Amino acid sequence: MKVFLKHDDLKKLLEGIAREGRLFAPVKKDWYSGWARVSSMGEIVLRGEQAQLKGEEVNSREPAKVFVFPQSEVMFEFDEERAVEATEVPAVVVFGLRSCDGRAMAFLERFFVENRPEDPLVRQRREKATLIGVACNSPADSCFCTAVGGGPHERKGLDVLLREVNGGFLGEAETEKGEKLLAGFPAANEKDEAEAEKRRQEAEGKMALRIDLKRLKEVLDKGFNSPVWERLALECVNCGACTFLCPTCHCFDVTDETVRGKKKRSRVWDSCQFTLYSQHASGHNPRLNPAARYRNRVMDKFKYTVDMVGELSCVGCGRCVRVCPAGIDIRVAVAEILREEEAGKDGQ
Amino acid sequence: MSKVERLRQRAKELLERQEVVVVLGYRASSRPGISQAAFITQKEDARHLIFDSTCSQNLANYLLKVKGKGRVAVVARGCDSRSIVVLLQEKQIEREKVYILGVSCEGVVVQGEKSVACRSCRYPNPVIYDEMIGEEVHFEPETVDDEFDQLTPDERWEVLSAEVERCIRCYACRQVCPNCYCPVCFVDASMPALVGKTHNVSDNMVFHIMRALHMAGRCVECGACHRACPMGINLMRFNRQVAKIVRERFGLVAGAKPDEMPALTIFKPEDPQEFIR
Amino acid sequence: MGNNPYKPVPVRIERVTIENDARDLKSFDLRFVDEGEREKWNFLPGQFVFLSIAGVGEAPFGIASAPDEELLKFTVKRVGAFTTALHEMEEGMVIGVRGPFGSAYPFELMQKRDVLIVSGGFSFTTLRAVIVHILKKENRPNYGRLVVVYGARTPGELLYKEELRAWSKSPELELNLCADRVCGADFFAQGNEGETAVQEGLVPDILKGVKIEVGNAVALVCGPPIMLRYTHPVLKEMGFKPEQVFLSLENRMKCGIGKCGRCNIGPKYVCKDGPVFSFEELLRLPEEY
């Protein structure tokens, strides 16, 4: 069921939610965009040029996963040795995610909740969040969602997708929550639908990259010991920038802290790129070689999660490409992996 | 012959004559305005070397990565060469194993603007090299951070807290720094645990201040950390303050003179201090 | 387990046993504080738990007790922050536990078969659970021969010495104990309390002397990486096929349920798809463990 929201209608809707203190959207933080609670529409930044953001193209620098998987979150407080779950999370409405982030949220739900045993923290946060996505009409040069099975106008993982057309937005619900939100708005007409379609095609047309995902999986299935990894990982400095800003990276550490006499157990983001990530108490480290850690990330995105839950976890958002201090581009890495395998075959 | 052409020629020759096993330089990345470190091992690949204002990384960082592979040639500007000096002084690398291709630099440009570290650069030319590619340059450094210096300690604390509030502890700053090479960083210590891991301004502040202090007399203010930070934290502010104090107190600049050891590793009786009267 | 897999439940330390002369190996027997909690715990040997101390942290430990033993037993080596805190605790104190997690040894496959246990060092913990479970009167007839090769650096480092003494006298299993070094002063080795002999030799070498009908046997192997590396060729030489050999692996773990990511070997998590893997499965996984 497609509805039409005039610009003013959307503004009213969002302002109503903002007045309740529940609206989160991308805002200008220094020279990039990140998530914050907003009280007025003027604070919202969806495209880089609007707020003279540098290097920020179309999706917020901070990934939307922070709403279901924040950088740190208290799991329990302790009363003696008895664990007491943290208090309820508040309901939030997140506006301005892109389809890539939506797809990432769907992956996180699949991995944390559907894939048993269920993670109650992620489940609770997702239930309490309403995700209003805004379709992408001008992808950046770092975007490649279509190369990994996604698209700039996809609804997967969102509650509502808004697609901008003349005069307003075409609104489509993906979930019951989304339908409730859009109830009361008039049905969209064919003209609006056609225009949204046209914009979608234009946006898709701007992303030329194609990856043979099936072949990539086959190559990765056999390519663990390929010499390509040592080469690709040379410039990598093994920081956590790519993993922390990746909307699907889900690894975490668990840490106990005593704060003003109260004992708490929290979980915090961790990265497979860090040396100590998999190091045993005995000192043995299965991934001591930095190239092994680099390989682990690429393998996880394009192979391991496919094996585990049947889904790629790279959504083509381009964040890792933009933030890598070493200038590493995962698209180049994938191309190199495929080329190396091809060369290996020819060389026989 | 341009600087870049000369660089490529020399890299090719060094590899051809097997004087080095790898040339560490820069090459273009997949995106305009961004470069990457280049590890050139085949002489045919020397043509990929570039040198311009996109070259953001401090290549001395990679010297430790290729340690033990053989003799390495490395492209070094003023800041990079000073990092190399500190690494040599701290016995992390051997002089004979490094062939330094010195180049002068007029500053790194990020998204159309000169990097804040480069605006106040006093060392655009390498202080140590085996050969110089191109001519030296000379320009007046800007004075930056005047405002911060006028603030009271409480005001400075507010400013710095607002900065580190954004820190996600990705450690990109630490990983790109040539002089942060501890096998186990103090943030990862567990017995005792010195810094918390949760998102906490206080813990973030401890990390950044302690890292800056660990770099006192060793940080060459190259700005690699500042440019690496994905959250745009003004890391140069920390580094610059510490370097300023070292300069004012001890009259020393990290790596500026190869025969002058880092400030906190030496002691002179006339060093100013208020503890023993 | 309850519906929050991250939530520990309280257990009281009923008994602490020091297992070695260096006093860095201790066994803890734990009783659930809450009524009815023990009954909820159905586990098989091979599985593990997380022990938790509020304000300190958690760590994974293989269950050393058999399913029908009243108390949960764990043997812990003091190596870091958590294990040090645990070692400093006394009988009567309360800690937390959550689990059971992971895969168990393949008891269905082991039915009516000979069971060969090969273990080194303090990895022996979950294998104690296997032995106690098999030796239980009702269970014993379901299995064939039970042959154990268990070694440590010195006899003093062998765990569960009282039980080893009893087992060495029992006709229900064949116990081969060994140590890298047996020196005169080793009380245990001289068998002062009876006939518990400890041969001098490495586990793989002692294993070579074991006679077993491989066609009808299952091997359970648990030990440090170096022992595994030298044991595998011996088992292969004896005729064991990869599908007959089961290893219990270790890794750094934080969640125990396959979410935090770090214990992966390729697309498998040691905490969830393991820790018990058949060697055949391991051959299909990358060598990153």
Q: What is the pLDDT of residues C67-90, one digit of tens each?
A: 999 999 999 999 999 999 999 999
Distance from CA of B245 to the nearest CA of C (A): 37
A268, A122, A75, A73: which is closest to C52 by C-alpha? A75
Which distant-in-sequence residues (6+ apart) come within 8 Å of A200 by Cβ? A135, A151, A152, A153, A163
C-alpha C84/C-alpha A190 separation (Å) is 70
Q: List the C245-248 sheet strands across, edge first.
A: C198-200, C174-179, C146-152, C114-120, C217-222, C245-248, C276-278
Amino acid at B50: I
CA-derived radius of gyration, chain A: 21
Q: In what order do the strands lie in the sheet with A72-79?
A: A82-85, A72-79, A262-269, A252-259
pLDDT (tens digit per residue) in B106-116: 999 988 889 99
Which phi-psi region, left, alpha or beta, contains residue A265 (left: φ > 0; alpha: ψ -120 to 50)? beta
Contact A143, A316 (CB under 8 A): yes
Contacts of A263 in chain C (CB under 8 A): 54-55
C242 or C191, higher pLDDT? C242
Shortest CA distance to B8 belongs to which of B73, B64, B66? Answer: B73
B155-188 per-position pLDDT tens digit: 999 999 999 999 999 999 999 999 999 999 999 9
Question: pLDDT tens digit string along C100-134?
Answer: 999 999 999 999 999 999 999 889 999 999 999 99
**Alpha-carbon C186 to chain mean position:** 24
pLDDT on residue C192: 56
Taking CA atoms, A339 is separated from A147, A214, A347, B52, B257, in Å, by 17, 15, 12, 29, 46
| pLDDT, mean over chain B | 93
Give the percent of chain C with pLDDT over 70.
Answer: 95
Q: Which of B56, B57, B230 sits opposite A323 (nearest CB)?
A: B230
DSSP letter at A147? G
CB pairs under 8 A between A and B: 111
The one-character DSSP state at B176 is H
Structure confidence by residue, pLDDT tens digits, C204-247: 999 999 999 999 999 999 998 888 889 999 999 999 999 999 99
Distance CA A203, CA A198 (A): 9
Q: How many whole angstroms separate alpha carbon C118 and alpha carbon B192?
A: 37
The complex scores an ipTM of: 0.93
Q: Tell whether C259 is within 8 A of chain A (Cβ).
A: yes
CA distance C73 to C64: 5
Report how far apart, in Å, the C-alpha atoms of C50 and of each of A184, A258, B150, C44, C122 are. 51, 20, 53, 16, 17
**C190 vs C149, which has greater pLDDT?**
C149
pLDDT for the residue B147: 85
**DSSP 8-class letter at B141:** P
Put simply, whether B190 touches C (Cβ < 8 Å) is yes
- Nearest Cα neighbor of A78 from C53, C254, C36 is C53
pLDDT tens, B22-77?
A: 999 999 999 888 999 999 999 999 999 999 999 999 999 999 999 989 999 999 99
Q: Which residues of chain B have a CB within 8 Å of the CB of C80?
A: 190-191
Residues in chain A: 348
Q: Residue A128 pLDDT more than 50?
A: yes
pLDDT value, residue A51: 52
Better-predicted residue by pLDDT, C181 or B154: B154
- Which of these ranges, A52-56, B17-21, B194-198, has the smallest mean pLDDT? A52-56
Cα gap B212→B189, rounded to integer Å:
18
* Residue among A314, A249, A297 nearest A103 (CA): A314
Q: Is the pLDDT of residue B135 over 60?
A: yes
User: Lowest-confidence range among B209-213, B271-275, C104-108, C152-156?
Assistant: B271-275
Q: Given this model, what pLDDT does residue C208 score? A: 94
Alpha-carbon span B9 to B25, nearest angstrom: 13
Give the number of other Cβ atoms within 10 Å of residue C267's Cβ.
Answer: 18
**Per-residue model confidence as pLDDT tens digits over A214-248:** 999 999 999 999 999 999 999 999 999 999 999 99
Supply the pLDDT for residue B161. Answer: 95
Mean pLDDT of A78-100: 91
pTM: 0.94
Task: Compute the mean pLDDT over every residue in chain A, rounded to the nearest whole number.
Answer: 92
**What pLDDT is recorded for position A281?**
87
Q: Which residue of A has its CA nearest to B233?
A: A30
As a whole number, mean pLDDT of residues A322-327 equals 94
- The Cα C53–Cα A83 span in angstroms is 10
Quick: pLDDT tens for A46-74: 876 555 555 556 888 899 999 999 999 99
Cβ proximity of A266 and B198 under 8 Å = yes
pLDDT for C186: 63
CA distance B119 to chain C (A): 42
The β-bridge relationship of strands C276-278 and C245-248 is antiparallel
Res. B122: pLDDT tops 90: yes
* H helix and E strand count, chain C: 8, 15
Q: Of A109, A66, A121, A92, nearest to A14 (Cα)?
A: A92
Kindly tell me if the per-residue pLDDT of C158 is higher than 70. yes
In this prediction, residue C1 carries a pLDDT of: 38
Query: CA-CA distance, B150 to B143, in Å (whole number)?
Result: 14
Contact present, C242 and A231 (Cβ < 8 Å): no
The residues facing C115 across adjacent strands are C146, C218
Q: Over 80: is that where the pLDDT of C50 sits?
A: yes
- Say whether A323 sits in a helix, a strand or coil: helix
* Distance (Å, whole) CA C143 – CA B175: 55
Hunting for tokens 């002369």 — which residue is that? Answer: C21
Suggest the residue from A77, A229, A235, A280 to mutate for an interface test with chain B (most B CBs closer than 10 A).
Answer: A235
CB A5 within 8 A of CB A185: yes
